[in-house]
Amino acid sequence: MDTPEIDSLLPPEMAIQAELVGVSKVSMPYIKTFTLAILAGAFISFGAVFATTATAGSHMSYGVTRMLGGLAFSLGLVLVVVGGAELFTGNNLIIMAWANKKVTTMQVVKNWIVVYTGNFIGAASVVIMMLFSGQYSFSAGTTGINALNIARAKCELGFIQAIALGILGNILVCLAVWLCYSARSATVKILCIIFPVTAFVAAGFEHSVANMYFIPMGILLLKFGNPEFQEILNQSTQNYASINWNNFFVNNLLPVTIGNLAGGAGLVGLVYWFVYLRKSDR
């Protein structure tokens, strides 16, 4: 009887694994890719819900509160990687197979468009379910107020600032996915995910798919929150005027997506391709 392999893959083997995964992803039927992308958008949104709830009404220091939110948000990527789903930011690593000429430019672009669209639908579905659930009004509305504060902070970012935060955010997310290529068990994959994802959330970096939940949730809360929550808002002196669709699409989602592509595909995928997969080194 053969003994199962328990040692982690080494970086050169991880690069080959990343290339094989990239080829597999672009070869998948579109309906399957789209369905798994919807799941990924929902999974990341569940992480966002967990993070919003875990940090609501916190009286701990800024850093500890952010770290707690990051630890909770890790749930999203754990569900994506271990549960099996298609996430736009993680799929930026398909660039390694493209750079090695194993997939075409059109295949990569089509995959990213299908997955990005599916992620948006999945996130929007969770936003709608959360709105009907009324969970945001629990604990005297502290969860809902926290959701609004998170959305406002994201909507008030500068364009260049959002690009930079998007670059940094997807460097860490793609490094988490990259580390998972070394793992041979679900337990190790979870450990590979927790620290990079906790770091990116704690530091305040940006993730486009997460923002597909965070900001629309804030927008819809302002317009369609239940009467109990609307009363809480009327008693509040905070100004949430910056939470709107224009700021979501133009000032956040667009620059953050650009940053995520640059960070994940450029500064993780292409760097590891250059080190381990270039033809001259193989």
Domain boundaries, the chain: 11-276
How far does Cα 6 stand from its chain's mean position? 29
CA distances from 33 to 37, 43, 129 (A): 6, 15, 23
Give the position of tokens 């053969």: 2
Look at residue 280 in the predicted model and tell me its pLDDT. 55
Q: Cα–chain-centroid distance for residue 226?
A: 28
Is the CA virtual torsion 192, 198, 204, 206 positive or negative? positive
Where do we find the tokens 């999203």?
76
The two tokens of residue 270 are 């292409």
Residue 51 is predicted with a pLDDT of 98
pLDDT of residue 6: 57
DSSP states along 59-80 = -S-HHHHHHHHHHHHHHHHHHH
Task: List the chain residues with pLDDT less than 50.
Answer: 1-4, 282
The fold of 11-276 is Glycerol uptake facilitator protein (1.20.1080)
pLDDT value for 192:
97
Angstrom distances, CA of residue 251 to CA of 59, 235, 247, 258: 30, 29, 5, 12
Rounded CA gap, 281 and 83, in Å? 34
- CA-wise closest residue to 163 among 97, 240, 262, 242: 262
Q: What is the DSSP letter of 102?
A: S
Task: Compute CA 125 distance to the chain's CA centroid, rounded to the nearest angstrom.
Answer: 16
Contact present, 148 and 243 (Cβ < 8 Å):
yes
- Give the separation between CA 240 and CA 233, rounded to whole angstroms: 10
Q: pLDDT at position 5, please? A: 53
